[in-house]
Structure 1
Amino acid sequence: MRPPAEPASEPASLTERLHLVARAAGRDAGVAVAAYTGGDSLAVCQGFTDRTRTRPIDEATRFETGSVTKTFTALLLADMAARGVVHLGEPLSRCVPAWALPRGPHGAAITLEHLATHTAGLPRLPPGLLPTAARSWFSNPYAHYTPDRLLDSLARSRVCRRPGTRVAYSNFGMGLLGHLLAERAAADYASALQTHVLRPLHLTDTGCDGLAQATGHLRGRPRPPWSIPALPGAAALRSSARDLLTCLRYLAEPARLPDGSLRYAMTEVLRLRALSADGPRLPLAWSMRALPGRDLYFHTGATRGFTAFAGFSPRPGTAVVALANTNPTLRGTFIQQAYLLLRALSAPD
């Protein structure tokens, strides 16, 4: 995402700022926007879970979060590495059979850390997905792509650049990472995430199983629940503004957690690492922008009926969550306004 420019003027109060973000989602959208700044939290909710207008949105309403899921997959990776179950530098050649390694001279050199930083060189979508995705492109393009096809798609991929040298955003790569972590944990992805991340953080509204309480909408029409059976680590998570803000606060202030693998993981995902001598320095999963006096970490997400933003700054401890039950549009400013709020709240006095 290209961060937008600073706004010409800012609303006077935090409540007004939250309302400004919420209005950017559109008049009919169900929205939850929450922020943490100066030691205090505040949320603004508008609209309803669906167009019957019977259940209002609140802080605990579950939304599909799309690619914000990737940040939780990174936490799971860092926690499992802290416990010695995996190693960040572990190569694919130790995780998949030899026949499944990507083609090209660099496929065997891909590590778990490359997958978590989008520097593995894998394609954005799994090879072989599009023929099955076409019939449900505007509802559930991943629904008919099953887990048994994952390694075949990996074998059909070609890696032309040395891993670690260039960022190429990949749903396939992050979904593959979630699959490999689940295998190593001897569980499915949803269960591994619940056991090692969600339950210890007391995120009771969050999970990959079950439905979002809000109904997603694409161009005003309701969409079926998002389904991504082979790649849950890329985009399967449902969560609430309340839970996401809690998680972001721990990321911004990990010392609030008891000492242990998850506290270490909160710090590890933010550590900038150079995976090659001539490559960028990156955190795990998050986008990061260095600004005067602080660093901003953020991630966006979208399914066919939902839009999500999550962002925070460790110095000062600041966080913003914005969730809407409408799909992103080219002219929409919902994500922009959420980012601008984070930037404004984290600015030094």
Structure 2
Amino acid sequence: MSQEKLSEFVELAATRFGVPGVAVGVWANGQEMYACHGVTSVENPLPVDRDTLFVLGSVTKSFTATALVRLVEQGRVDLDAPVRRYVPEFLLPDEQAAAGITVSQLLNHTAGLDWRMDVETGEGDDALAAYVAKMAESDLIAPPGTRASYSQVGYSLTGRIIEKVTGLTYEQAIASLLFEPLRLSHSSFTTNEVLTRRFAVGHNHGEDGTLSVARQWKDSRANNPGGGAASSVADQLRWARFHLGDGRAQDGTRVLPTELLRLMTEPTVELRGSTLGDALGICWFLRDVDGVRTVGHGGSANGQFAELLLVPDRDFAIVTLSNAGPDGGLAFNRAAVRWALEHYLGVVDRDPEPLPFDDTRARDVVGSYENDLMTLTIATDGAALTIECGIKSAIRAATDAELPPDLPPADLGLLPGDGGEYIVTTGGLKGQRGFFTRDESGVIVAVDLAGRMFARVPR
């Protein structure tokens, strides 16, 4: 597949999905290829190139987990140890759970912690310490070790472990453990540093469909371990090649033993009905696509989306970065990954077909569901099911920050089988899969979307 074909696809797809700027990098057949299109901002446009920094969102978790594994290799952290060995001040309302949660449960999202906490702890070096202190007020969503549920909170706590063990701030530790030895010179957490480089800003669609710049560029400092890195497509492809390799940097420097790098991609817990994957390794989502094993992680910020996907058996990687909301940026990334898999590897990623609408089954799932930050509303008009996703109104009212817009209702289809699984078939979340959880009496008590659990609100 030629550079020309890649560039042609990227330009057409970015135009189709209305994304101001995109950057795509591919590693295939021992070669790097890049295709960049568009601009960093509709208000202050500069051409996007391979060194333009985008906010990575949750792809940052792969840095946090890999840095932690480096500390394991150095004998400074034990994956099976309780978190309190390293962060003795860690508290939860459930004392027994707080005492028993292990480091590995943070890394594979089985600690029972909620997705996020709506707290602000500032931009000082004590931001993570103050955030962890607030966890004393955060209830569990499930007993530790009983299920996987995606948790930003867990990765903030992991970042605090890194701080305590190294004696550095989280950001300094990641630079020392990863950015510097791997020569990721266009990767940073620091806004002041990013401002000296070419960087992309996020964009969201207004009610009239026009794009505007998202004024909150990235999340607060306490969320850096789970989503605060900014990086370029060239650095991300270098990062991908490191994880495809034997644990050495491109200059031959040994960063991790090969066996520990491979351990990160071994399944630790199965995932049910999730677009994210079939299982979780150490941070990584593991998924079989058309009979081929993939390893990856996605990320979202305010009006920006990132995707990193590896196919280890084919020595293949693709990185996509985009600067528009989910109906543009997320859709572009998904299309680019699927196109690359098919055209470079002959691997076709297909969505499952939903069942025809069934009014009885539909009414069983209708209702409101919520977690600490967001609300899902599932409704029916007697002919179709819809799902609507939005930030809680109380949280919007309590902040001066410009938060991403709520997503309009999209169609939802139930999938075959008795597992209560579904797929979103239209809108910005098109292709996202999830499932409903029932209690012992068969009543639906929760729904999972994008790996996150939302508890059903009593009617």
Superposition TM-score tier, normalisation by shorter sequence: 0.7 to 0.9
Question: How far did 1:256 drift?
Answer: 5.4
Question: What RMSD, in angstroms, separates the aligned Cα atoms of the two structures?
Answer: 3.0
How far does the alpha carbon of each residue in 1:54-83 deviate from its partner, in whole angstroms, 9 at most, with x for none? 421100000111111011111111111111
Question: How far did 1:97 drift?
Answer: 3.1
Q: Say which structure is richer in strand.
A: 2
How far does the alpha carbon of each residue in 1:89-144 deviate from its partner, in whole angstroms, 9 at most, with x for none? 12122133367245164332211111111111001112x53xx69xxxxxxxx989
1:118 equivalent to 2:97? Answer no
Q: Distance in 1 between matches of 2:108 and 2:5?
A: 36
TM-score, normalised via structure 2 length: 0.64
- Counterparts of 1:100-115 in structure 2 under 5 Å? 100-103=91-94, 105-115=96-106
Q: Distance in 2 between matches of 1:260 and 1:302?
A: 31
Q: Which runs of 5+ in 2 are unaligned?
A: 206-210, 271-277, 349-459
Q: Distance in 2 between matches of 1:163 and 1:253?
A: 33
Question: How far did 1:263 drift?
Answer: 4.3
User: Which of 310-319 and 207-216 deviates more?
Assistant: 207-216
Identity fraction in percent: 27
Q: Structure 1 82/256 Cα, relative in aligned 2: closer, same or farther at 3 Å?
A: closer
* Counterpart for residue 303 of structure 2: 305
* Counterpart for residue 195 of structure 1: 176
Question: How far did 1:188 drift?
Answer: 0.7
SS at match of 1:56: coil
- Alignment match of 1:249 (pick from 241, 244, 267): 241
* Counterpart for residue 4 of structure 1: none
1:334 equivalent to 2:321? Answer no
- Alignment match of 1:272 (pick from 243, 267, 271): 267
Q: Distance in 1 between matches of 2:190 and 2:89?
A: 32
- Alignment match of 1:283 (pick from 257, 281, 284): 281
Give the length in aligned residue pairs.
323
How far does the alpha carbon of each residue in 1:321-341 deviate from its partner, in whole angstroms, 9 at most, with x for none? 111122223895223213313
Q: Distance in 2 between matches of 1:54 and 1:231?
A: 28
Higher relative contact order (CA 8 A, sep 6+): 1
Q: Distance in 1 between matches of 2:314 and 2:10?
A: 19
Q: Distance in 2 between matches of 1:281 and 1:306?
A: 25
Q: Structure 1 35/77 Cα, relative in aligned 2: closer, same or farther at 3 Å?
A: same
Q: Distance in 2 between matches of 1:202 and 1:331?
A: 28
Question: How far did 1:262 drift?
Answer: 2.4
* Counterpart for residue 256 of structure 2: 262
TM-score, normalised via structure 1 length: 0.82
- Counterparts of 1:123-138 in structure 2 under 5 Å? 123-126=114-117, 128-129=118-119
Question: How far did 1:158 drift?
Answer: 3.1
* Counterpart for residue 406 of structure 2: none
Q: Structure 1 206/83 Cα, relative in aligned 2: closer, same or farther at 3 Å?
A: same
Question: How far did 1:183 drift?
Answer: 1.9
1:234 equivalent to 2:226? Answer yes
Q: Distance in 2 between matches of 1:99 and 1:285?
A: 21
- Alignment match of 2:161 (pick from 169, 177, 180): 180
Q: Distance in 2 between matches of 1:248 and 1:331?
A: 21
Q: Structure 1 14/217 Cα, relative in aligned 2: closer, same or farther at 3 Å?
A: closer
- Counterparts of 1:86-101 in structure 2 under 5 Å? 86-97=77-88, 100-101=91-92
Q: Which runs of 5+ in 1 are unaligned?
A: 1-11, 134-141
8 Å CA contact 1:107–1:158 kept in 2: the answer is no
* Counterpart for residue 39 of structure 1: 30
* Counterpart for residue 70 of structure 1: 61
SS at match of 2:133: helix
8 Å CA contact 2:51–2:234 kept in 1: the answer is yes
